[in-house]
Chains A and B, each alone.
Chain A
């Protein structure tokens, strides 16, 4: 299976990388946000997914397609974990 590279995928990769750089640049300022490491990992998997989405048009389309979808799955899972963690932290703070 060969995938065609679409312009939207390149734009998405461009935006993803830009936001990723902004996060890295401002990491110190936003790291205090509750469970930031989880939400940051979540974003890293989105970037990874988009990256493999572009890459699958050039090499190993099947493998990279799977990696892309798995990245999205991990991202979704991390998002859920983040939401639960934030809830637990809020609950702890309320109890204090």
Chain B
């Protein structure tokens, strides 16, 4: 019996020594470093165990036996560490894979954004050019003229959309630079562009700041916020409202500048006041908008370190149907 067991233990000893040699010899071929170290430690313990058993049979040497039991306890513990290391490796592998997938999707999104914001926008510019030429011709047929105006309006709207997408991609990449800007010329330019999009709409900005300058920390893309808010006022006008007047008020203090855009439209329900800045939320059920403009406006303002929200008009705080006030807060920049 003893002979059989001693041969068995000698066999174990040789096999384990062989495994250690193999792992050490082909060290670089085994991928997981932490696993390799644990393996060697484990095998060293097993070899100690085998050696102790083997020596007992022949020479009755019990020098190692005293430690054998303690060493044996370490065996399952090392296995536990081994499993833990495997789990960690697994988590790391998953993280790397997820990162690769995100990068791949991000590249794809960038490509799509690039196509939309540049290539399609270029085609739009060409259509717009031809339409301008066409509008300069003496076209007497009112139906055709009406259609041309409708096409022009759609092209300008899609231009605005491409602009918004371009800004959105910049915001995603956090490329928006903050600089000192004057709000007044930007608001004027926005008003002119809205007139181009809605030439037949009786639209006007009522302002109280002629001849003044209001400098804030922002960017030229603030113009898109203004266009989005002004077009929103037009789209949400009351049914029989012929004239759309947006009152603009600017209050500048040392730290902050508050810009208010007040309209007399349908107004926004209290429960929708926060939601309208979310993508795909319409300010009213019958609105023509798709909710992208306000969502982008919020992103732009927040990207510039400001805030944007909507309230009821100050002259009818408890009645939303009298119109809305969009308030924007930006950091003030001093003229010097």
Which positions in A face B, CB cutoff 8 Å? 6, 8-9, 11-12, 15-16, 18-19, 22-23, 26, 29-30, 32-34, 43, 46, 50, 62, 65-66, 69-70, 72-73, 76-77, 79-80, 83-84, 86-87, 90-91
Chain B residues whose CB sits within 8 angstroms of the CB of A19 once the complex forms: 76-77, 79-80, 83
Does A90 contact B31, Cβ atoms closer than 8 Å?
A: yes
User: Do B70 and A8 touch (CB < 8 A)?
Assistant: yes
Q: Which residue of B lies closest to A14 (CB)?
A: B76
A9 to B72, CA, bound (A): 8
CB atoms of A76 and B72 under 8 A apart: no
Check A79–B19 contact: CB distance below 8 A.
yes
A76 touches B12 (CB 8 A): yes
Number of CB contacts from chain A to chain B under 8 A: 102
Query: Closest CB-CB distance, B291 to chain A, in whole Å?
Result: 41
Whether A80 pairs with B76 at a CB distance below 8 angstroms is no
CB of A18 within 8 A of CB of B19, answer no
Taking a contact as CB atoms under 8 Å apart, the answer to whether A80 and B77 are in contact is no
Q: Which of B15, B49, B76, B89 lies in contact with A16, CB distance below 8 A?
A: B76
Q: Is the CB of B29 within 8 A of A90?
A: yes
**Cβ distance A65 to chain B, nearest Cβ, rounded Å:** 7
Please give the distance in Å from B19's CB to the nearest CB on chain A. 5
Chain B residues with CB below 8 A from A86, complex form: 29-30
**Number of B interface residues, CB 8 Å?**
37
Contact A23 B83 (CB under 8 A): yes
A26: contacting residue among B4, B46, B76, B87, CB under 8 A: B87
A46→B75 contact, CB < 8 A:
yes
A91 CB, min distance to chain B CBs, angstroms: 7
Task: Give B26 Cβ to nearest chain A Cβ, in Å.
Answer: 6
User: Which secondary structure characterizes the binding site on chain A?
Assistant: helix
| Chain B residues with CB below 8 A from A87, complex form | 22, 26, 29-30
From A11, A23, A69, A70, residue with most partner B Cβ within 10 Å: A69
Q: From A18, A76, A80, give the contact of B80 (CB < 8 A).
A: A18
Residues of B within 8 A of A (CB): 1, 4-5, 8-9, 11-12, 15-16, 18-19, 22-23, 26, 29-31, 39, 43, 46, 49-50, 53, 69-70, 72-73, 75-77, 79-80, 83, 86-87, 89-90
A42 to chain B, nearest CB (A): 9
Closest chain B residue to A93, Cβ basis:
B31
Asked if B90 and A83 sit within 8 Å, CB to CB, the answer is: no
Q: What separation, in Å, do the CA atoms of A9 and B50 have in the docked complex? A: 16
B83: which of A22, A73, A83 is its contact (CB, 8 Å)?
Answer: A22
Contact present for B16 and A91 (CB under 8 Å): no
| Cα A27 to Cα B73 with chains together (Å) | 23
Using Cβ atoms and an 8 Å threshold, which residues of chain A touch B69?
6, 8-9, 12
Q: In the complex the two chains form, is A65's CB within 8 Å of B79's CB?
A: no
Q: How far is the CB of A14 from chain B (nearest CB, A)?
A: 8
Which residue of B has the minimal Cβ distance to A1?
B1
- Option from B4, B22, B89 in Cβ contact (under 8 Å) with A66: B4
Q: Is A22 a contact partner of B80 (Cβ separation < 8 A)?
A: yes
Cβ contact within 8 Å between A65 and B5: yes
A80 and B86 form a contact (CB under 8 A):
no
Q: Is the CB of B73 within 8 A of A69?
A: no
Cβ of B22 and Cβ of A80 under 8 Å apart?
Answer: yes
Return the chain A residue nearest B28 by Cβ.
Answer: A90
A65 to B76, CA, bound (A): 19
Query: Which of A23, A32, A65, A76 is packed against the most chain B CB atoms within 10 Å?
Result: A76
The answer on a CB contact under 8 Å between B90 and A29 is yes
Q: What is the CA–CA distance of A12 and B299 in the complex, to the nearest angstrom?
A: 60
Instruction: Take A15-B76, A18-B80 as given contacts and tell me if A30 and B19 are in contact as well, using a CB distance cutoff of 8 Å.
Output: no
Can you add 13 more A-B contacts, CB < 8 Å, to A50-B76, A66-B4, A80-B15?
Answer: A11-B73, A19-B83, A30-B87, A46-B79, A50-B72, A69-B9, A69-B12, A72-B46, A72-B49, A76-B46, A80-B22, A83-B23, A87-B26
